[in-house]
Amino acid sequence: MASTLSVLTRNRSFRNLFLAELVVFGSDWFVMVPLLVLLPDLTGSGVWGALVLAVDTGVVALLLPFTGTLADRFDRRKIMMVANVAASAGVLLLLGVRSAGTAWLAMVAIAVIAVAKGFYSPAAQAALPNVLDPDELAAGNAVAGSAWGTMTVVGASLGGVLSDRVGAYACFWIAAVGLALAAVLAATIRRPLQAPREADLAPQRAWAAVGEALRYIGHRPRVLALVTVKSAVGLGNGVLTVFPLLAGVYGAGPSGTGLLFAVRGAGALVGPILMRRVLTNRAWLLPGLALSMSLYGLAYLGTSVAGWFPLVLLLVFVAHLAGGSNWVMSNFALQGEVPDRLRGRVFATDMMLATLAVSISQLVVAAVVDTVDERVVLAGCGLVTLVYAVGWRFATRRLSLTDPVPEPAPDAAR
């Protein structure tokens, strides 16, 4: 079993993919944190921030069934490169957001970035097992799972600090340059990012390809359980909308907002690393997923009654340690259940459900954020996740991931 350090040092293709992911995730937060601070300052309302978050996740959710199909049909490396260049162009649009009258441009820019992410994410996730040797899978997933958390710490904390010191627009320039660099890193990956396809099989039409993936998921209860598990944390993700407002309650300002997002990322970084041992024992995965969802909900219920900002930071860390664990465990389990030819579409469906849940949560919060106390919003989001976790565990109590993966039927292989 490879160590987390050795998989980075000896596997160049994985290292370059991981570095590209770091840059993409870091750029994302160099955009989002300053923007969430900027918009309330320009407009005097928290609604614009909630709408931006909802557009970010909602556009991705709508695109994923089709972009996942493309990730199974076309060169994943080229998809990643083009997506990063397009995202860089979208970030530059944010330089035009200068007043309440131009706040709408933020939604356009974020929509462009979200379209790029909708293409990038399923291609990158589906490519991951192809740049790892079999003995590197557990370590590689732990490292890759920590990328988002690592750069949320760096991007969110630095984004908050730099937004306070040099302004949001400097952060937007940094993000645009970073995304262009990520395209260069993707070009340096040498291993094939997908298994060879049979030459005599004609490409499916988009709807047929999506339908095949949905039938595959629907006929396999284990896969269905795994693609619905991230929705628990997603439905509680409306808490992000109130981070800037919560920091204001404690007088922490933009730096406090950056700290909240940073400890969120720190939890998401530590969670996947701690879960590496769980990944080596598939019997622990389903109970571990239920536990991680429950812990997320309980931590935000605690945050809603905490009266001390350092305690709030600690509880946010715990919540997203659980959320990061949930993400890496479900991804690892899906990689073992789904063949490469369907992996892009299944992972896209998985991400679609998660991001759709996030969008719903953020739109609900957007509707009440100016009239309902921040603590009530936190408690509501935590409770929704906790209830979902209990229901999901009850529904999956008879499933086991230790049984052999069923072979696809002959007609499903065409």
Q: DSSP readout, 340-361?
A: HHHHHHHHHHHHHHHHHHHHHH
Residues 54 and 362: their CA atoms lie apart, in Å, by 6
Max distance between CA atoms of the chain, in angstroms, equals 65
d(CA 342, CA 327): 19
Query: If we measure between CA atoms, which residue out of 347, 336, 328 comes closest to residue 72?
Result: 347
Task: Write out the E strands in 91-169.
Answer: none
Q: How confident is the model at residue 3, as a pLDDT? A: 65
Q: So what's the pLDDT on residue 4? A: 65
pTM, two decimal places: 0.69
What is the spatial distance between Cα 241 and Cα 111, in angstroms, rounded to a whole number?
A: 17
Q: How many CA atoms lie within 13 A of 94 on its CB side?
A: 33
pLDDT value at position 206?
Answer: 55
Separation in Å, CA 22 to CA 41, 63, 154, 179, 390:
29, 23, 10, 10, 33
Contacts of 343 (CB under 8 A, 6+ apart): 72, 126, 129, 334, 335
Distance CA 377, CA 365 (A): 7
Class of domain 10-193+206-401: mainly alpha
Report the C-alpha gap between 185 and 194 in whole angstroms.
18
Write b or e for each residue in 215-233: b if 16 or more Cβ atoms lie within 10 A of its Cβ, otherwise e: ebbeebebbbbbbbbbbbb
Residue 409 is predicted with a pLDDT of 46
What averages of pLDDT result for each successive group of 10 residues across the chain (414 residues)? Answer: 70 89 84 86 81 84 80 87 94 92 92 92 85 81 73 70 81 92 91 68 57 84 92 88 83 79 81 73 87 95 92 94 88 85 80 83 83 90 96 92 60 40
Both tokens of residue 278?
């769980």
